[in-house]
Amino acid sequence: MGLSTRTGNRGRAAAPENRRALLRAARELFATEGYNVPLSAIARAAGVGQGVLYRHFPRRLDLAFAVFEENFVELEALAEQEDPDAFERLFTRTVELMVESMGFVELVVGARGVEDAGDERLAELVTGPLHRAQAAGRVRPEVTLAEVSLALRMIYGVAATARDDARRSADVARTAALITARWRGDAAP
């Protein structure tokens, strides 16, 4: 993301646009630079001053949770899709977001209580699509929410222990393929 050419204070009317720009910049920089990227870099990439960043997000954690919340909104939209393939799309996108947000996931996992809230919310998202996929014969009936959660934790472990980005992508893709093939009852890919 390049530096913005915006200059000057555009006032309160720009607040929603500034917030969106901060979230876009934070999402990109958290993914490429990690959770500890300087907040000044996020403000600069969004084309706003640090004061604007702190008005919207007083703490780094507030910014990270706002980005994480956007992830859940996207996943909720996928979960609302009624077709039987929605479960696989939801699972695939959850894995992608988890890998993109590795640093933040580590933060959440370390924060007791927050992890449980995310688990509950994810379980609510997965329930409907999983049941529809099972009813359509796309996923074996014995696959449970606990198994989906375990699979996500396993994939996270694979992603967290990868030596480089290329290896991470290949290993995560292979692990997800093995898991989804088992859920469908396919022979291992």
Is residue 3 a part of any domain in this protein? no
* Shared-domain flag, residues 28 and 98: no
Residue 34: pLDDT above 90? no
% of the chain beyond a pLDDT of 70: 84
pLDDT in tens, 8-19: 555 677 889 999
CA angle 78, 83, 85 (to 5 degrees): 75
Residue 61: pLDDT above 90? no
**Enclosing domain of residue 52:** 12-56
Overall domain count for the chain: 2
Residues 68-85 have a mean pLDDT of: 91
Residue 113: pLDDT above 50? no
Of 61, 31, 67, which Cα lies nearest the Cα of 159?
Answer: 31
Question: In this structure, are residues 85 and 91 in contact, taking their beta carbons and an 8 Å threshold?
Answer: no
Q: How confident is the model at residue 70 (pLDDT cuts 50, 70, 90)?
A: confident
* Shared-domain flag, residues 122 and 45: no
The pLDDT value recorded for residue 48 is: 95
The pLDDT value recorded for residue 155 is: 93
CA distance 15 to 4: 16
* Shared-domain flag, residues 48 and 76: no
Residues 93-101 have a mean pLDDT of: 86
* Shared-domain flag, residues 42 and 69: no
Is residue 81 a part of any domain in this protein? yes
Lowest-pLDDT choice from 34-38, 70-74, 104-108, 175-179: 104-108
pLDDT in tens, 152-179: 989 989 988 888 878 888 999 999 999 9
The pLDDT value recorded for residue 102 is: 72
Residue 147: pLDDT above 60? yes
The pLDDT value recorded for residue 112 is: 42
* Shared-domain flag, residues 85 and 106: yes
Is residue 5 a part of any domain in this protein? no
Residue 115: pLDDT above 50? no
